[in-house]
Amino acid sequence: MRSVPTTSLDLTSPEVVADPYPHFAAERARHPVAWHEPSGMFLTFDHASVSAVQRDRRLGRIWTDRQPADRLEPFNLLHRNQMMENEPPEHTRLRRPVASAFNRGHIERLRPRVRELAADLLAEVDPSGFDVVGDYAEPLPVLVIADLLGVPRSYASSLRDWSQAIVRMYEVAPSDAVVGAAVSAATDFAALVRELVTERRSRPTDDLISDLVATELSADEVVAAVVLLLNAGHEASVNVFGNGLTAMLQRGLRPGPDVPACVEEMLRFDSALQLFERTATEDVSMGDVLVEEGQKIAALLGAANRDPAVFDRADEFDVARDPNPHLAFGVGVHFCLGAPLARMELAESVSSLWSRFPDLALTDEPESRGTFVLRGFHRVKVGGRAT
């Protein structure tokens, strides 16, 4: 029998999925780190432990192909070649060309386009009632990341569908239907990107795919990088926006004069990414717990971001919170490469929404996506007087 702290927290239960934070608080009061038999890994519940897990280079992202490998090869191919699923030096080799491309001014040049897209989308909604997720939060980041990469806008709807199908595989216990949909989406997604890569090799343009094609990355690695950027650039922004906006509207709040500070609180308060796995490449002591080589440990980002030892009034939404050392983008070598894009995009989309609808309010009960790892809302109906 293990002599380490254990937790029986059911990460798939409707109660935990609906509101994990009271459950995290109860666990945190008992132990910062505990063994979770259902998932076969350790879970971390406080800010210090979650930060330590992400910073310790002995705890790595070690990709193992999902089984059965022959059936899941389209899904596995996209992930084994991603920077997020590898450690240095491979991670560094895969990340450097993407980071270099992001540093060429692509993001800041997109700011006017983000404002234009936001205004166009808001001009089309019905002020008396619209779905702020489906009509605004989802299409905006898809169009932005597609513009950045150079993917034709005609594929925007498909990109959203493929992305959502793939990321459902990251949940604790995906069903056979989820697996089948993810494999199909990965196949179609990769096929489109390969076509675009082939085109850019012969006719480069001013976009990120052309930049990546010109690097030392292999064709599979370029495809994996593009799919990762489209998925991450879409899912994170949608869920941060939807979660944060819903929390604000439920509390009668609106952004203060410092919109970027409000965005940071949206990132902290109801984390879009709740769980990030690592594997021990050697024995690692995590407080009083020994994580043995080969064992997994998960950083629970949402739990860290509500730790009262770090955040005053941790369960309150403070639009002007300062300081705000949340871990929503991670820390260490796997810090989110798209963080500057996400912050710019969120600040512009929040400003545009509240400028257009200064008395915005919920008109119906928000509909959750019902997922734990990638937490978000499927539909959030709102309305208000348009200016």
Q: Helix axis angle, 139-149 relative to 339-356, nearest 10°?
A: 140
Q: Is 235 a catalytic residue?
A: yes
| SS3 of residue 27 by DSSP | helix
Q: How confident is the prediction for the chain on average, in pLDDT? A: 92
Compare 233 and 145 and report the one with higher pLDDT: 145
**pLDDT (0 to 100) of residue 110:** 83
d(CA 108, CA 259): 17
Question: Is residue 223 over pLDDT 50?
Answer: yes
Mean pLDDT in residue range 370-379:
94
Q: Rounded to whole angstroms, what are the CA distances from 53 to 4, 49, 141?
A: 17, 6, 30
Confidence class for position 101, pLDDT limits 50, 70, 90: low
**pLDDT (0 to 100) of residue 46:** 98
d(CA 224, CA 219): 9
pLDDT cut 70: percent of the chain above it: 98
Mean pLDDT in residue range 167-174:
85
Q: Which residues contact 266 (CB under 8 A, 6 or more apart)?
A: 240, 241, 243, 244, 245, 247, 248, 346, 350
Mean pLDDT in residue range 188-208:
92
Q: Is 345 a catalytic residue?
A: yes
Catalytic member of 49, 51, 163, 237: 237
Confidence class for position 1, pLDDT limits 50, 70, 90: very low
- Summarize pLDDT for 298-330 with one digit per residue, the tens: 999 999 999 999 999 999 999 999 999 999 999
In terms of average pLDDT, the best of 1-5, 66-70, 210-214, 281-285 is 281-285
Compare 172 and 56 and report the one with higher pLDDT: 56
Catalytic member of 171, 235, 264, 348: 235
Question: Is residue 289 over pLDDT 60?
Answer: yes
**pLDDT (0 to 100) of residue 99:** 84
Tokens of 167: 């990321």
Catalytic member of 232, 261, 303, 347: 232
Q: What is the number of alpha carbons within 13 Å of residue 124 lying toward its C-beta? A: 13
Question: Is residue 207 over pLDDT 90?
Answer: no
Confidence class for position 191, pLDDT limits 50, 70, 90: very high
Exposed e or buried b per residue across 127-149, where buried means at least 16 C-beta atoms within 10 angstroms of its C-beta:
eeebbbbbbbbbbbbbbbbbbbb
- Summarize pLDDT for 104-140 with one digit per residue, the tens: 566 777 889 999 999 999 999 999 999 999 999 999 9
Give the distance, in angstroms, between the CA of residue 61 and the centroid of all CA atoms in the same chain.
Answer: 16
Catalytic member of 85, 171, 264, 345: 345
Count Cβ atoms below 10 Å from residue 279 Cβ, excluding itself.
Answer: 19
Q: Is 232 a catalytic residue?
A: yes
Catalytic member of 336, 339, 351, 386: 336
